[in-house]
């Protein structure tokens, strides 16, 4: 049902792949969160817990060290009976897997030259101690062009990411390239990312096993939707104003998007058995329609109680 491989051909129109500032992305998010609609993602993104109720579902992970500013998991498996939950007894959330987020990096700090690179990642919560997973359970396929990203996340998400250098000649309409990931969900699953037909890196679920006061995170189990967006932000890359002025207006183009599934378990639906989303979204439609709503309570809904934090009557 959930075994998929997402493929997308694309190029980004800047004169060369050496102009910093754009934030092109091709990624996936669990259906229960809508990107940019903060009330829908509060307490949902980027959690990826499977039926565990411990400190990981609490606000700030019950820690005072600033590692997490998250409000706690809104829909854990231990949500009390009768509370607002799409599939009672099961953890639900809005995890994220990124096919690519593209940027540039300098080859040599002393030389004003740069090349394009892509970050291929999964965003998770709750967080490892110091945002450090066990990378013994990961694999880099070609260390000459791919390396683990030094950015590991912040108080709103942990990022498990690798950076791969790409060819500057693929930009400005010169060529399309394929970017992909293939994943098997769950506590025994993994994710493999690709550029072209070449594997770039692999993350095994054992890399995000129990750590500190939190339990096993999982390779996302939720039904997910694909997102294609082209942004610009200082929170992602330094803005090269003079360079950007030469390439705006700029366009990111996709030739195709393809999703492959295990032929023994094909499912193209928002409501796979046990992971339904349609009715829950319909019952909270304002959260998914009104971008100005930034919290669950502002949308008019109480935070569901759970047995770990509140006790259940």
For 24-58, how does the pLDDT look when each residue is reduced to its tens digit (9 = 90+)? 899 999 999 999 999 999 999 999 999 999 999 99
Tell me which range, 223-237, 245-259, 281-295, is most confidently predicted by mean pLDDT: 281-295
Indicate the average pLDDT of the chain: 89
Give the number of other CB atoms < 10 A from CB of residue 11.
Answer: 21
- Beta strand pairing call for 157-165 and 153-154: antiparallel
When pLDDT is averaged across residues 159-181 and rounded to a whole number, the result is: 85
Q: Burial, 31: exposed, middle or buried (Cβ in 10 Å; 0-12, 13-18, 19+)?
A: buried
Sign of CA pseudo-dihedral 35, 41, 46, 48: negative
Residue 267's pLDDT band (boundaries 50, 70, 90)? confident
Whole-number Å distance between alpha carbons of 6 and 133: 25
Does the reported pTM lie above 0.85?
yes
Return the pLDDT at 268: 86
Task: Summarize pLDDT for 202-219 with one digit per residue, the tens.
Answer: 999 999 999 999 999 999
Q: Which CATH number fits domain 4-289: 3.30.470, 2.60.120, 1.10.1060, 2.60.40?
A: 2.60.120
Return the pLDDT at 112: 59
Name, in order, each residue with C-beta under 8 angstroms of 266's C-beta and a sequence gap of 6 or more.
1
Residue 238 has pLDDT above 60, yes or no: yes
Cα 269 to the chain's mean position, in Å?
20
| Range of lowest pLDDT (83-87, 90-94, 203-207, 236-240) | 236-240
Residue 162 has pLDDT above 80, yes or no: yes
Task: Summarize pLDDT for 217-233 with one digit per residue, the tens.
Answer: 999 999 999 999 887 77
């Amino acid at each position: 049902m959930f075994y998929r491989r997402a493929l997308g051909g694309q190029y980004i129109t800047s004169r060369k792949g050496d102009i910093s500032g754009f934030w092109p992305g091709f990624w996936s998010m669990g259906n229960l969160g809508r990107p940019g609609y903060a009330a829908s993602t509060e307490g949902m993104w980027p959690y990826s817990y499977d039926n565990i109720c411990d400190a990981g579902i609490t606000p700030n992970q019950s820690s005072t060290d600033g590692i997490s500013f998250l409000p706690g998991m809104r829909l854990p498996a231990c949500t009390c009976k009768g509370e607002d939950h799409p599939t009672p007894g099961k953890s639900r959330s809005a995890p994220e897997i990124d096919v690519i987020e593209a940027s540039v990096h300098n080859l040599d700090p002393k030389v004003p030259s740069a090349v394009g690179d892509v970050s291929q990642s999964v965003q998770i919560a709750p967080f490892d101690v110091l945002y450090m997973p066990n990378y013994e359970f990961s694999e880099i396929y070609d260390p000459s062009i791919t390396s683990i990203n030094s950015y590991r996340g912040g108080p709103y998400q942990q990022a498990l990411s690798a950076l791969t250098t790409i060819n500057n000649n693929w930009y400005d309409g010169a060529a399309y390239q394929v970017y992909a990931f293939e994943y098997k969900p769950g506590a025994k699953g993994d994710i493999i990312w690709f550029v072209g037909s070449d594997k770039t890196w692999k993350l095994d679920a054992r890399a995000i096993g129990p750590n500190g006061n939190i339990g096993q995170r999982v390779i996302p189990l939720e039904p997910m939707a694909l997102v294609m967006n082209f942004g610009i932000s200082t929170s992602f890359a330094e803005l090269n104003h003079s360079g950007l002025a030469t390439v705006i207006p700029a366009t990111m183009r996709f030739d195709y998007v393809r999703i492959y599934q295990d032929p023994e378990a094909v499912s193209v639906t928002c409501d796979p058995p046990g992971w339904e989303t349609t009715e829950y979204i319909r019952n909270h439609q304002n959260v998914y329609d009104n971008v100005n709503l930034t919290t669950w309570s502002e949308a008019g809904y109480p935070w569901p109680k759970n047995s770990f934090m509140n006790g259940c009557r």
